[in-house]
Amino acid sequence: MPMTALRFPVSLIFQRTPLANKWASERWEPVAVLPVLDAAAAAAVPVKIGDDATGTQWRFDAHALELHRSEAEGYYLNITAPDPKVFVMWELCDDGRDPPVLPVVVTVSYNEAARLLDGGHQVDAVPLPAAILEWMHPFVAENYKPEPRKKVRRNDPFADDAGRRERGPRD
């Protein structure tokens, strides 16, 4: 019987920072992932939450972190790291939308984030909130089983000579 994924609703905060640069006028990046306290009040469209001379911030609701047994190792690697992260895969769109960013995937698996990066996607990391870390711990404890250590046979170029030494010199 397949286990359904555990879901944790989150909001993503993206920031636009103006740049004094001849190649780019602004930089977009995710800056935070926040637990959604009231899923019923979550907006279906991005909401501008701040706008001043230093930049603009937008909140994207209707996203969720999902935990799957097959990614347990990636979650373990994340929560045991010195600074656990949430990884956000996103795209910059040129279709006239405001804001011109589209969050696609949000994950807490190191392995999934690495696969997305290997696939050439834009993936940024933001700090993992304590509430999400606490939510992850029981799942990882139940589902992550480290691979048993295997006895490593060292590459010994003289291993075949050991048998000859025991038999003595050739006659």
Q: What is the mean pLDDT of residues 56-75?
A: 94
This prediction's pTM: 0.81
Is residue 134 classed as helix, strand or coil in its secondary structure?
A: helix
> Taking all residues of the chain, what is their mean pLDDT, rounded to a whole number?
87
Q: What is the pLDDT of residues 95-119, one digit of tens each?
A: 888 899 999 999 999 999 999 999 9
Q: Which helix (H) or strand (E) holds 23?
A: none
- Distance between the two ends of the chain, CA-based, in angstroms? 68
* Residue 18 in this model has a pLDDT that exceeds 70: yes
* Residue 159 in this model has a pLDDT that exceeds 80: no
Domain spans, the chain: 6-144
Query: How far is Cα 152 from Cα 159, in angstroms, rounded to an integer?
Result: 15
What phi and psi, each to the nearest 5 degrees, are found at residue 20?
-100, 80
